[in-house]
Amino acid sequence: MWLFNAVPKEAIKQRYGFEVTDAWLTRLQRASVRFNNGGSGSFVSADGLVLTNHHVAADTLQKLSSAGQDYVREGFLAKTRAEELKAPDLELNVLESIEDVTSHVNDVIATGMSPAEERDARQQRIAAIERASLDTTGLRSDVVTLYGGAQYHVYRYRRYTDVRLVFAPDFDIAFFGGDPDNFTYPRFDLDMALVRVYEDGQPARVKDYLKWSSHGAEDGDLVFVSGHPGSTQRLDTVADLEYQRDVALPYRLAYLEGLHRVCVAYGARGAEQQRQAGEVRLGVENSLKALRGRLAGLKDDRLMARKGREEHALRQRLTQDGTLRAKYGDPWAAIARSRRSLAAFRNELVLLEEGDAFSSYLVELAHTLVRLAAEDQKVDAERLPEFTSARRESLELDLYSPAPIYAEFEKARLAWSLGVMRATLGANHPILEKVLGRQSPDARAAELVDGTKLAAVAVRKELAGRGPAAIERSTDPMIMLARAIDPDARSVRTRYEREIESVERLAYANIARAHFDVMGDDRYPDATFTLRLSYGAVKGYQENGRAIQPFTTFAGLFARADEHGHRPPYRLPERWLSRRGAIDGSVPLNVVTTNDIIGGNSGSPVVDTRGELVGLVFDGNIHSLVGDFVYDDTLNRTVSVDVRAMRYALAHVYNATGLIEELDAR
């Protein structure tokens, strides 16, 4: 997951004999796309066509669907550009440039500042840098923290907000094998989708896009993944990992298991309720499997011993070198103390500020409106980062989304999460009186959802436009709830920022700088949902004494369906079954490579040395689940859809001749 401005060109050349040029990198960078709701993609035509996964596009598919038209399940194909469907709130970003602003961020730090004072000073400087960059370039400008605070880079993006759905396959082929096969291999999924970006009502003209390889990749080929990995914790201290193992992950798993039960129960009410809850349920199931794998990794003594040895080696060097010890102190001890002190208010933090007590889109909207009114009264440098002018357009895209809101599903989720809050904090906690009064979670949720008018976009716009006075006078129950809890939520956030975040930011920055001093810059920073490059090879692996081949095929897909009697989640769509005799079973469907990826890389292009697209990342194998903490290419594999399968399916199953012609255009 190398930064695009720090690609190890010489190491790649020595290992694979391929010279990565600046021109090759620039073209790949500008062909790579970030889906701002989480995920990656790439331009694949000069007319703004973007390739990603079905599961990345599923949020848009769900929002475009209705009781009579389920695009998630049934798929979609626009036969003409006039039939392409506009996404209600999707933003795509394309990275234009990266600038190292570390010295500019840090030159506000004065001797004698406390960690909290340093944090505040840096945050104000970051807001100023982002605002100045936006004003100068017109591009979305995000200052990204790298190596825990040892470096700061500003990433500038071109934004696209007119995004239209072009193609998605049926759910049963996109997610064939369902949750049982998720994070496993062999796989047999056509997890792809196509959208198009528009500018001024016309398809965007794109100079840099990826041509689809006509022959794909072969076993042993060097391949690259260009995408936006979300987050990793590979630089975390042992104390931090122990906190994840003993506190954070068990809590999150229990929370998601409860939310999953809510989704299943709601879906059992009927087909329409199942559709409404479907996207949330699938996301929860994916998270549960991923988090269980991470927890199992942290409970593995071998993994923890490895992390302990790495940490001990660096700490020992600092202990032995008086200059380094004086320069950096003992940041590991500072992080250990910080993690212990978080226990005093962690419940309030995750429930109130992080929103676990309010599993509701309507509450989220009310929370945003209340904070927006307050933050707009401040100068940019003093605002919460998510409310600065540099982030305003993206915030409003979400706030004014016309996506449907399902009242009964809102009630079910909100009632459950209010119950979680009561059970976690205890019935006598002061915040319970503000939130529930004397009502049960079910009754309070019904009162809030039935009484609010925030489902209407016009109401949200009017409230936001009329400013703080309108928010203060509002009798909308959701706004009243958000007003009531905001002081407590802000208070616990401030405490976290001053007592935990500021201490750990300084400590992790010092650990990174110490590593640079002792061992050099031999590793990339943890993932930050910014563009990264990973290099690897098409390669199978050994699992439990069995050789896992790198490719699966259409023949294997049908055999897998037969093996399970074509019962869900191994049921194939009728259009596939009816063409079974005509489909070429030898066409490669999925492929594994040794590229290092993580969540957020879904939808990333896999390219060969010619810069042509040979695959589409959609998953990792079971051994990738510890990739948050360590990477080992012995077993960890990236799972992708082979370009040959995508082309074949478009041509021979979906009869998308117009898309094939566009993809083949040179």
- CA-based Rg of the chain, rounded to a whole angstrom? 25
- Residue range 396-442, pLDDT digits in tens: 999 999 999 999 999 999 999 999 999 999 999 999 999 999 999 99
- pLDDT score at 128: 95
- Residue range 494-506, pLDDT digits in tens: 999 999 999 999 9
Structure tokens of 154? Answer: 């500003």
- pLDDT score at 332: 97
Q: How far is CA 173 from CA 264, 279, 557, in A?
A: 22, 16, 9
Q: How far is CA 443 from CA 269, 437, 447, 521, in A?
A: 20, 11, 6, 56
- pLDDT score at 519: 85
Structure tokens of 586? Answer: 């030898």
pLDDT above 80 (res 274): yes
What is the chain's length? 666
Return the SS3 of 132: helix
User: Which residues, including other chains, have CB under 8 Å from residue 286's CB and lie 6 or more apart?
Assistant: 55, 179, 182
User: Which residues, including other chains, have CB under 8 Å from residue 155's CB and lie 6 or more apart?
Assistant: 95, 97, 98, 141, 142, 143, 144, 530, 531
Among candidate residues 469, 411, 396, the one with its CA nearest the CA of residue 442 = 411
153 vs 102: CA distance, rounded Å: 7
Return the SS3 of 203: strand
Which one-letter DSSP state was computed for residue 144?
Answer: E
Burial class (CB in 10 A: 0-12, 13-18, 19+), 473: exposed
User: For 408, what's the count of Cα atoms within 13 Å in the CB-facing half-sphere?
Assistant: 12
Is the sign of the CA dihedral 400, 404, 407, 411 positive or negative?
negative
**Whether the Cβ atoms of residue 125 and residue 108 lie closer than 8 Å to each other:** yes
Is 3.90.1200.10 the CATH number for 2-91+161-234+525-664? no
What is the helix (H) or strand (E) element at residue 94, kind and residue range?
strand 92-100
User: For 651, what's the count of Cα atoms within 13 Å in the CB-facing half-sphere?
Assistant: 15
Strand order in the sheet with 613-620: 2-3, 532-537, 222-227, 605-607, 613-620, 638-642, 588-593, 551-553
Structure tokens of 14? Answer: 């020595």
Banded model confidence at residue 523, pLDDT cuts 50, 70, 90: confident
- Residue range 159-211, pLDDT digits in tens: 999 999 999 999 999 999 999 999 999 999 999 999 999 999 999 999 999 99
SS3 sequence, 578-636?
A: CCCCCCCCCCEEEEEECCCCCCCCCCCEEECCCCCEEEEEEEECHHHHHHHCCCCCCCC
pLDDT above 80 (res 58): yes
Q: How far is CA 606 from CA 226, 297, 330, 576, 632, in A?
A: 7, 27, 41, 26, 19
204 vs 638: CA distance, rounded Å: 31
- pLDDT score at 521: 79
104 vs 112: CA distance, rounded Å: 19
User: Which residues, including other chains, have CB under 8 Å from residue 306's CB and lie 6 or more apart?
Assistant: 630
Structure tokens of 245? Answer: 């193992």
**Whether the Cβ atoms of residue 632 and residue 306 lie closer than 8 Å to each other:** no
β-bridge mates for residue 77, sequence order: 167
Percent of the chain, pLDDT > 70? 100
Structure tokens of 5? Answer: 């401005």
- Residue range 61-105, pLDDT digits in tens: 999 999 999 999 999 999 999 999 999 999 999 999 999 999 999
pLDDT above 80 (res 307): yes
User: For 522, what's the count of Cα atoms within 13 Å in the CB-facing half-sphere?
Assistant: 6
Note the helical H segments in 246-330. 249-267, 271-298, 301-320, 322-328
Banded model confidence at residue 522, pLDDT cuts 50, 70, 90: confident
259 vs 127: CA distance, rounded Å: 36
What does 54-81 look like in DSSP terms, one character per residue? HHHHHHHHHHH-BTTB-HHHH-EE-SSG
**Whether the Cβ atoms of residue 612 and residue 210 lie closer than 8 Å to each other:** yes
What mean pLDDT is predicted for residues 484-493?
97
- Residue range 323-332, pLDDT digits in tens: 999 999 999 9
pLDDT above 80 (res 666): no
- pLDDT score at 665: 84
Task: Output 137-144 pairs: Cβ under 8 A, ≥24 positions apart.
Answer: 137/96, 139/96, 139/97, 140/93, 140/390, 140/393, 140/394, 141/390, 142/390, 142/530, 143/101, 143/105, 144/528, 144/530
What mean pLDDT is predicted for residues 457-471?
96
Mean pLDDT of all residues belonging to the chain: 96
Q: What residue ranges do the domains of the chain occupy?
A: 2-91+161-234+525-664, 102-159, 242-299, 330-515
What does 224-263 look like in DSSP terms, one character per residue? EEEE------TT--HHHHHHIIIIIHHHHHHHHHHHHHHH
Return the SS3 of 529: coil
479: left (phi over 0), alpha (psi -120 to 50) or beta: alpha
**Residue type for position 543:** E
- pLDDT score at 565: 98
- pLDDT score at 520: 82
Structure tokens of 47? Answer: 């007319």
598 vs 489: CA distance, rounded Å: 31
**Whether the Cβ atoms of residue 353 and residue 496 lie closer than 8 Å to each other:** yes
Percent of the chain, pLDDT > 90? 98
Among candidate residues 151, 360, 338, 94, the one with its CA nearest the CA of residue 240 = 338
**Whether the Cβ atoms of residue 280 and residue 294 lie closer than 8 Å to each other:** no
| Residue 446: how many other CB atoms lie within 10 Å | 18
Banded model confidence at residue 57, pLDDT cuts 50, 70, 90: very high
- Residue range 559-617, pLDDT digits in tens: 999 999 999 999 999 999 999 999 999 999 999 999 999 999 999 999 999 999 999 99
**Buried (b) or exposed (e) across 547-580, using 16+ Cβ within 10 A?**
ebebbbbbebbbebbeeeeeeeebbbbeebeeee
Q: What is the pTM of this model?
A: 0.95
**Whether the Cβ atoms of residue 636 and residue 620 lie closer than 8 Å to each other:** yes
Banded model confidence at residue 362, pLDDT cuts 50, 70, 90: very high
